[in-house]
Chains A and B, each alone.
Chain A
């Protein structure tokens, strides 16, 4: 399953994109991650993650929605592909299996 491995940060980004639904682009992803996970990420780090996810085929993107605040520039909207969803699901399964296999977990 090489190449379909899902890194931790990339997983977060994917989930965030799903959370945002139709409105997932650079700024919104950044803000959502920041508010939910308290992690402040730079646009650059996000760009790298998005590039990797795109290379792996987990997300796709398209341009749309120009706005004045952006100086008339369009945004790039991201959405998760089926492959991406599969990868998320597999990751979740593995986690749950591991959790269930723990004999006695107490905090």
Chain B
């Protein structure tokens, strides 16, 4: 007798949706009873309203059904516990397999972590400055530029907000109030330096610290070195020979935190740039040609630095009257400095190289791939073992999806263990890795969140990547087949496995080829004749006054019979050959000559270094035409012929002018004939082709003494030198460097690179071998019966071994052939960096191939031989 109206449907549906099933009967009953009561008493509208209200008010914790596990997984929390137990049991049961898998993965992951730290460090340079995006550095062949450029940019272009210049004075002698003396680095900066760059001050105010001309800002370490404390405000320091001043008394106006490692420039002390304006260097400030100061520009947020670059030729024409020459002047973003400065000829510090970063990143990915392939291979191979389990699970009602998650979960567990292990390995190896690269890549405290999330991400990605395919395979097994017959995975999975081995060994072989080529190139560079004799040559920085003292110095040194030859010079091999202006016999488009590399040398230089003279002669002391003369190298002569005509085939006697700027004006510093031509020699590292070079007599600009000593009793000779140095009472402490060392410093980056490549190569090969070993073990077990039967039918252990080897070496050999073209192309590209390089010949590839095969053989030999020698009776006993 119920009325035809029913309670509101949607409210009811909503209620059924959230209400706990056990409560539904009583509550819905009560709700409906009330509804009909209300319907009679107060009418339809009221009843409806009440119903809605009641339903909404029943939306409370005691009524709502408990949260169900997302149905997508079709797994309840209880099953998770079960899967976890099973996964652990499997890990323990198949100990050797788990061990191989985990260690391979852990090593791979450890490498990835190390490289990630390195890459992150390299990419983080200079990012701590707040205004980093708006700061640019002016460059002109060198990272030092001419004085007036910066301030004039501010005047000419509204988008250039400010310019800040920094001058590097090198190490100078300092004396404290209490008499202690030190020899430390100084930089001169303008008051707006701290507006540009973000540093924090421990003492003093960064906004005013550099205002006074006698200001001095110290970094924490230097302050402690000088005074034992950072509370150094007001203390005085006396400096000699800074910026053209003989002696200065500076007052400490600030102490700042040390410059962090990830900065493109490191300084210990900052003095005021004002000093340049008041000392004998002041003429440099208006000189548009001499490059000596580092200049930074602050650009407006919307400015485009490339547009500014395009305006530079016009800009220089406006200010210097020179037309069209200046294409090397450009702005460089602050954040690019660290990794993209290899085109600059001289930098305030040695910077990194983007190519290295890229190569390392690529290597990391490659190694990760190898490790994942390992996992995949071993997992699919072992899949056979779990076939029965899969079959039974499916019979009992497991869905394919559930099995998928089970196996993915297992791979996740394995990966997590590997990650933790990898963390441990990384922690252990980090100190050695850092020494290798000569950098520090400790994670910063703020990194913790990033590290955690990226580790998690890594675990998930790797477990999916590595475990995905095996999980798919496993979950696919049909119960009928698994329970009836013994599965072997069939043709397809074997093919897949072989494919994986090919990839692993392919990558490893490429790395081997790479390492060999790099080794050969380094060896070639080190041993190549440089065009002069670099053995047992050393040099010392004498400093000011060398010209006057040279006779005395020479006389003193010659007394030692182990000192074979003495020379003085400004420039020397392995350092930058600065470019100055030269006019060739008056014929030039540019009024002030061309910018060309040159070496300023002194007495005896060519002889001491044994440079071969092709035409003419070397400089003779005291012979005026000689000291005003010029010597050219072969490249320069060829260049001159091309540009100025055939007469330069016989350059001896033709005239050259050497120009410099004095007080902003061009002057001919020296004019004279070409007196000799020398054979080309490498004055820069072998990465660069031999450029044209002009050599002339000017030892007083640099004050270096060069010595060739005999190989006997080198320590004795060095002691003798030090003794003499003290006698001469020089300001700077005794310091010398062997020329070959200095030259090799140019190869530092390549050395590091080669060492690391070697290390990675070994690791990649190791991981691939782990995989191969696991596979070999597994196959040996699988085919126990087949081997047994073969042996009974008459096969010898040699035959069996043959079968195995053929099966396993096939992929390795295939990998080798695939690796050849890739390796060749890649290494060719790398070798393009060097003007003097080896040719990659067949011997490299043959060697790499033999090595790869040998390694593979050794890896599988143990398992193969033991399988082949097994007693067939034992093999067939168990069924």
Contacts and interface: CB of A to CB of B under 8 A. Distances in A.
A22 B31 CA distance: 20
Interface in A1-40: 25-27, 30
Contacts of B25: 63, 73-74
Contacts of A42: 53-54, 57-58
A74 B30 CA distance: 9
Contact of A74 (B26, B31, B58): B26
A60 interface: no
A47 interface: yes
Interface in B16-68: 23, 25-34, 36-37, 53-54, 57-60, 62-63
Interface stretch (A64-72, A86-94, A95-103): A64-72
A70 B29 CA distance: 5
A25 B29 CA distance: 11
Contact of A43 (B1, B2, B54): B54
B29 A71 contact: yes
Contact of A44 (B29, B36, B37, B57): B57
A30 B727 CA distance: 112
B27 A51 contact: no
B60 A70 contact: no
Contact of B2 (A47, A51, A69, A73): A69
B54 A27 contact: no
Interface residues of A, number: 21
A75 interface: yes
Contacts of A43: 27, 30-31, 34, 54, 57-58
Interface string A46-66: 011001000000000001000
Given A69-B2, A69-B36, A26 B27 contact: yes
Given A42-B53, A69-B2, A47 B34 contact: no
A82 interface: no
Given A26-B26, A26-B27, A44 B33 contact: no
B29 A47 contact: no
A85 interface: no
Nearest to B24: A73
Contacts, number: 68
A74 B29 contact: yes
Given A75-B29, A76-B26, A68 B63 contact: no
B34 A71 contact: no
A25 B30 contact: yes
A47 B58 contact: yes
A19 to B, nearest CB: 18
A44 B2 contact: no
A74 B59 CA distance: 21
A30 B53 CA distance: 15
B19 to A, nearest CB: 11
B12 to A, nearest CB: 11
Nearest to A77: B26
A17 to B, nearest CB: 15
A68 B3 CA distance: 12
A73 to B, nearest CB: 4
A75 B62 contact: no
B34 A27 contact: yes
A27 B30 contact: yes
B33 A69 contact: yes
A38 B34 CA distance: 17
Nearest to B58: A44
Contacts of B57: 42-45
B653 to A, nearest CB: 113
Nearest to A76: B26
Contacts of A51: 62
A27 B31 CA distance: 8
A26 B29 CA distance: 9
Contact of A73 (B1, B28, B37, B54): B28
Contacts of A68: 1-2
Contacts of B53: 42
B27 A47 contact: yes
A48 B57 CA distance: 11
A70 B1 CA distance: 12
Contact of B62 (A47, A67, A74): A47
B27 A27 contact: no
B632 to A, nearest CB: 101
A2 to B, nearest CB: 21
B2 A30 contact: no
A71 B54 CA distance: 18
Contacts of A27: 30, 33-34, 37
A67 B1 CA distance: 12
Contacts of A44: 54, 57-60, 63
B568 to A, nearest CB: 98
Contact of A70 (B33, B54, B63): B33
A30 B2 CA distance: 22
Contacts of A25: 26, 30
A77 B33 CA distance: 15
Contacts of B59: 44
Given A42-B57, A44-B63, A71 B27 contact: no
A27 B63 CA distance: 17
Contacts of A71: 28-29, 32
Among B27, B36, B53: residue with most chain A CB under 10 A: B27
A69 B58 CA distance: 21
A69 B32 contact: yes
Contact of B30 (A45, A48, A63, A75): A75
B32 A48 contact: no
A78 to B, nearest CB: 10
B719 to A, nearest CB: 90
A10 B278 CA distance: 92
Given A44-B57, A45-B57, A73 B34 contact: no
A42 B27 CA distance: 12
Nearest to B7: A71
Nearest to A42: B57
Among B2, B27, B30, B62: residue with most chain A CB under 10 A: B30
Nearest to B25: A73
Contacts of B2: 68-69
Nearest to A65: B29
A75 B26 contact: yes
A26 to B, nearest CB: 4
15 contacts: A26-B26, A26-B27, A42-B54, A42-B58, A43-B30, A43-B58, A44-B58, A47-B23, A48-B60, A67-B33, A70-B29, A70-B32, A70-B33, A73-B28, A75-B26
Q: Which 3 A-B pairs have the closest CB atoms?
A: A73-B29, A26-B30, A44-B57
Given A43-B30, A68-B2, 5 more contacts: A30-B34, A48-B60, A68-B1, A69-B33, A73-B25
